[in-house]
């Protein structure tokens, strides 16, 4: 069933399911950066194969974050958008944290290697988000830059929204599969489809009964395509000798399957979030908490990833041991959440980790 939610009354309400989706997305990010270590194990063991499957599946994280941005920004700006006000608010929400954490991770790198890199290298890394996985913030900044243009096109051709989705899908697929003589640091095209999907979903909330055949079909398609592409990925690792030796470019049909897979995951997670947003459940409540603090968790988790990895290897728990991955995942989650919670209570916490104690308490009472 498709429910219309793009109306004036809806803009007055906080989309609680957005926090749920952010919570799922940040857990997937942590899973990616936990299982990424499996590419460095000595042999292609059962542990490595399991981690490769989990790593590939979890890559819906960035598409989901972009999707939520499209949905939430549409809620605020679908009906009226003052570009000056929009750019001012959006960039203030990202730039202070980006500058601060870029500097922090740069200093960590200097301390680790005990040398100061050339100034041109520092500038390039700052511009591209090469410090501490901050490239995602560069992507979000680019999305903010292009959003007024995209939403104006969507509103102009809203009756042809289905065609806009198809066009966005093709553009993103072409960007990923075709060698185009454009800077690859222009990351916006890699999130265009999911941004437009978020706008479309705000305008036409895609909901269905979780116990219906549609839900089971979506779940089965997710499982099938995850196993299929994971199998091909494992085959490539065997063929090329290691994960790092696999060619960057994949056949267009596999990229298309990946986009469809992540779309199915997004729609499923959206429906779970809508279904549970007014229900009390400890696990769901935890996911909402992770979502509220997701920005800060993303900013800080790389530091704890490096620290915990070094400590585990030092005490003899290696990449070939099962406990390594469990401890790393839980350690990143717990310490990043605690750090974000504490910093968010500081007077200028919202400029550091993107959240405030007032909003957090209000959401916890819901």
Average of per-residue pLDDT across 225-234: 84
Residues in the chain: 366
Average of per-residue pLDDT across 299-308: 95
Contact between 43 and 117 under an 8 Å Cβ cutoff? The reply is no
Average of per-residue pLDDT across 234-241: 76
Statement: residue 175 has pLDDT above 60: yes
* pLDDT of res. 8: 38
Pairwise pLDDT comparison (358 vs 114), residue with the higher score: 114
Query: What's the pLDDT band for 179 if we cut at 50, 70, 90?
Result: low
* pLDDT of res. 183: 56
| DSSP secondary structure string for all residues of 83-128 | HHHHHHHHHHHHHHHHHHHHHHHHHHHHHHHTSPPPHHHHHHHHHH
Number of domains in the chain: 1
Statement: residue 332 has pLDDT above 60: yes
| Residue 118 in tokens | 């050339």
By mean pLDDT, which of 201-210, 258-267, 295-304 is the weakest?
A: 201-210
* pLDDT of res. 203: 82
Contact between 150 and 195 under an 8 Å Cβ cutoff? The reply is yes
Interatomic CA distance for residues 221 and 238, integer angstroms = 26
Average of per-residue pLDDT across 83-105: 90
Contact between 76 and 11 under an 8 Å Cβ cutoff? The reply is yes
* pLDDT of res. 56: 86
* pLDDT of res. 185: 67
Statement: residue 265 has pLDDT above 60: yes
Q: Which domain holds residue 89?
A: 2-365
Average of per-residue pLDDT across 165-194: 81
Pairwise pLDDT comparison (60 vs 77), residue with the higher score: 60
* pLDDT of res. 9: 43
Pairwise pLDDT comparison (241 vs 34), residue with the higher score: 34
Pairwise pLDDT comparison (239 vs 68), residue with the higher score: 68
| Nearest Cα to Cα of residue 25 among 127, 132, 136 | 136
Tens of pLDDT, residue by residue over 343-352, are: 999 888 888 8
Pairwise pLDDT comparison (295 vs 115), residue with the higher score: 295
Looking at the chain, the whole-number percentage of residues with pLDDT higher than 70 is: 85
What's the mean pLDDT when you consider all of the chain?
A: 84
Contact between 247 and 241 under an 8 Å Cβ cutoff? The reply is no
Average of per-residue pLDDT across 323-351: 93
Query: What's the pLDDT band for 184 if we cut at 50, 70, 90?
Result: low
* pLDDT of res. 361: 42
Statement: residue 286 has pLDDT above 60: yes
* pLDDT of res. 69: 94
Interatomic CA distance for residues 129 and 32, integer angstroms = 18
């Amino acid at each position: 069933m498709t429910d219309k939610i793009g109306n004036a009354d809806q803009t007055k309400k906080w989309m609680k399911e957005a926090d749920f989706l952010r919570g799922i997305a940040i857990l997937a990010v942590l899973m990616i950066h936990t299982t990424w270590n499996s590419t460095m194990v000595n042999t292609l063991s059962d542990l490595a194969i399991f981690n490769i499957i989990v790593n590939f599946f979890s890559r819906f994280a960035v598409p989901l974050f972009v999707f939520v941005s499209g949905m939430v920004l549409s809620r605020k700006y679908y009906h009226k958008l003052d570009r000056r006000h929009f750019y001012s608010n959006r960039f203030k929400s990202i730039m202070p944290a980006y500058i601060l954490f870029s500097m922090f991770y740069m200093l960590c790198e200097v301390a680790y290697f005990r040398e100061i890199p050339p100034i041109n290298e520092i500038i390039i890394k700052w511009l591209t988000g090469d410090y501490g996985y901050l490239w995602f913030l560069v992507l979000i900044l680019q999305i903010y830059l292009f959003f007024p243009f995209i939403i104006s096109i969507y509103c102009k051709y809203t009756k042809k929204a289905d065609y806009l989705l198809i066009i966005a899908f093709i553009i993103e697929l072409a960007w990923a599969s075709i060698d185009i003589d454009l800077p690859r640091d222009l990351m916006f095209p890699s999130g265009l489809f999911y941004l437009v999907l978020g706008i479309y979903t705000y305008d036409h909330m895609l909901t269905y009964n979780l116990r219906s055949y549609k839900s089971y079909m979506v779940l089965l398609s997710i499982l099938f395509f995850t196993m299929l592409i994971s199998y091909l990925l494992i085959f490539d690792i065997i063929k090329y000798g290691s994960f790092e030796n696999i060619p960057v470019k994949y056949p267009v049909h596999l990229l298309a399957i990946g986009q469809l897979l992540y779309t199915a995951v997004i729609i499923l997670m959206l429906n779970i979030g809508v279904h549970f947003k007014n229900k009390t459940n400890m696990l769901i409540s935890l996911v909402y908490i992770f979502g509220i603090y997701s920005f800060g968790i993303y900013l800080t988790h790389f530091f704890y990833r490096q620290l915990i990895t070094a400590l585990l290897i030092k005490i003899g728990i290696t990449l070939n041991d099962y406990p390594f991955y469990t401890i790393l995942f839980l350690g990143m989650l717990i310490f990043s959440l605690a750090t974000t919670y504490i910093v968010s209570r500081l007077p200028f916490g919202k400029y550091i980790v993107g959240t405030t104690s007032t909003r957090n308490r209000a959401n916890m009472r819901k």
